[in-house]
């Protein structure tokens, strides 16, 4: 459960960043932005390069997170999409209460 809580924390940082950047990023489809890797490793400090639109699509489902390749954790999530710059993982249903906790 601590892993999911870490991921939710990293996503909240990225949500604030995306909200702050939306008014100033002219091309939400093409301009790459550095986001925090949303993996569950508390010591991870790696960045992900995504467009604002990609970031928004990942988080249309609150159970999905963007992580660097190799940062996925098979015991609590499954990889649902692979890209050149990041993976999209979806938390297992057993993690829903932690992910959706306010």
Q: Provide the residue range defining the domain that includes 93.
A: 2-99
pLDDT of residue 67: 96
For the entire predicted model, the pTM comes to 0.79
Domain total of the chain: 1
60: which residues sit within 8 A by CB, 6+ positions away?
none
pLDDT of residue 23: 65
Cβ proximity of 78 and 71 under 8 Å: no
pLDDT of residue 17: 79
Q: Could you list the pLDDT tens digit for every one of the 102 residues in the chain?
A: 566 666 777 778 878 878 877 766 656 667 898 999 998 888 888 999 999 889 999 999 989 999 999 999 888 899 999 999 999 999 988 777 777 765
């Amino acid at each position: 459960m601590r892993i999911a809580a870490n991921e939710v924390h990293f996503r909240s940082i990225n949500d604030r960043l995306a909200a702050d950047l939306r008014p100033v990023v002219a091309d939400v489809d093409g301009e790459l932005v550095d986001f925090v890797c949303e993996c569950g490793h508390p010591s991870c400090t790696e960045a992900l390069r995504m467009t604002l639109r990609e970031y928004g699509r990942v988080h249309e489902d609150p159970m999905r997170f963007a992580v660097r390749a190799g940062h996925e954790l098979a015991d609590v999530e499954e990889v649902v999409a692979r890209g050149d710059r990041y993976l999209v993982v979806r938390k297992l249903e057993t993690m829903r209460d932690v992910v959706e906790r306010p």
